[in-house]
Amino acid sequence: MLAGFVGLVTFGTYAASGTPQRQGSRAALSAGTVPAAYQGLIQEWGSLCPEISPPMLAAQLYQESGFDPSARSPAKAYGMAQFLESTWATYGVDANKDGKKDIWDPADAIASAATYDCALAREVSKVPGDGQANLLAAYNAGPYAVIKYNGVPPYAETQGYVRNISTLARSFTAPTAAVEVSPQAAGAIYFAQNVLGTPYLWGGEGLPSQGGRFDCSGLTQAAYASVGITLPRVANDQWYAGPHPSRDQLRPGDLVFWATDLNDPRSIHHVGIYVGGGYMIDAPHTGAVIRYDKIDTKEYIGATRVTSDGANALPVRGADGSITGSGGPGAGGQAPAGTPAATPAASPPARAAGTGGSGQTPAKT
């Protein structure tokens, strides 16, 4: 059992002293994927130990709360990192040195999430295989299960969690080479072209009861559904459905986005489908029709190249905006470090639903 962190406590290859120890080269965060207020913290604490990275830490925080520091779940998990109070008591870190380990403080929550991850990594460090995958499995199912099965345990939920966070992390990683073009892009554009001239409807999803009308994210969701890719309903979640090509790397089929605050992706309010030549097809606003529009305006924040894996990795939001199927630190099937999991070895981890609840309900755009 790991005790609370007092002073400098060293675990193998990392030190939990309130200051991350540099672990060499780290993947950079992709521009616009993390609110600017938290980007430095995630880049810093995402280097706490070799098994984590800034994009992986960002993916976890996004899944847990959508970067909402005031998030609370029905399972009584709190803050941006969705800690249970019992887990926070052991792993909470006073990262900003204000004399308080505050579960609601983003600086403390981000640091504590990384500290918890690295403590789990230490617990399963002797297990063969990929260190990050074993860490994520321990986060979901408890370290005992990972040790027992000598790797990621055969729980569908745990295997899904490992796969989803690993995939979602790619959306937060700055591309170092040209991003591969989506094979489904042409079909999505074809769908959008066939509804040109259709009147806009706020909340529209193209249903017969809505006269086949769409709003902006309803259009992009339907366009990609026509080629077998299920996107989230709202624009600021669709933003994370794949990697982010730069403006000069845009290709037809990319989703293009606008935000009121270019430093905060939570403020994304509009999305369209890029068709080339600086134009997109979009459902712009009430009183307009689905049409071609230029993309180069002052609120343009960037683009996403949709992938099937990226879309499938995104958390599912409830009607109240809560994120289901994640489970914060210490929630559900996660056993404290060094403690056997409570669930039988052959069973999936028992986890409380909705422990990655977001405190906000994104507006349909």
pLDDT at residue 330 greater than cutoff 60: no
Q: What are phi and psi of 231, to 5 degrees?
A: -95, 155
pLDDT at 240 over 70: yes
Q: Could you give the domains of the chain?
A: 9-174+319-324 (1.10.530.10), 185-306 (3.90.1720.10)
Instruction: Note the pLDDT tens digit of each residue in 242-297.
Output: 999 999 999 999 999 999 999 999 999 999 999 999 999 999 999 999 999 999 99
pTM of the predicted model, to two decimals?
A: 0.80
- Which residues contact residue 212 at a Cβ distance below 8 angstroms, ignoring those fewer than 6 apart? 195, 198, 206
Q: Please tell me the predicted confidence (pLDDT) of residue 27.
A: 82
Q: 326 or 157, which is more confident?
A: 157
Stretch 87-115: mean pLDDT, rounded? Answer: 97
| Pairing mode of beta strands 9-11, 77-78 | unpaired
Check residue 216 and give its pLDDT.
Answer: 98
- 218 close to 203: Cβ distance less than 8 angstroms: yes
Task: Identify each DSSP E strand in 17-123 by its residue range.
Answer: 77-78, 83-84
Convert the pLDDT of each residue in 44-87 to its tens digit: 999 999 999 999 999 999 999 999 999 999 989 999 999 999 99
In angstroms, the CA 299 to CA 320 distance is: 27
pLDDT at 1 over 50: no
Assess whether pLDDT exceeds 50 at residue 201.
yes
Q: Which pair of tokens denotes residue 27?
A: 């993947």
pLDDT band at 196 (very low <50, low <70, confident <90, very high): very high
Distance CA 263, CA 30 (A): 12
Q: Would you state the structure tokens that stand for residue 15, as one six-digit string?
A: 């030190």
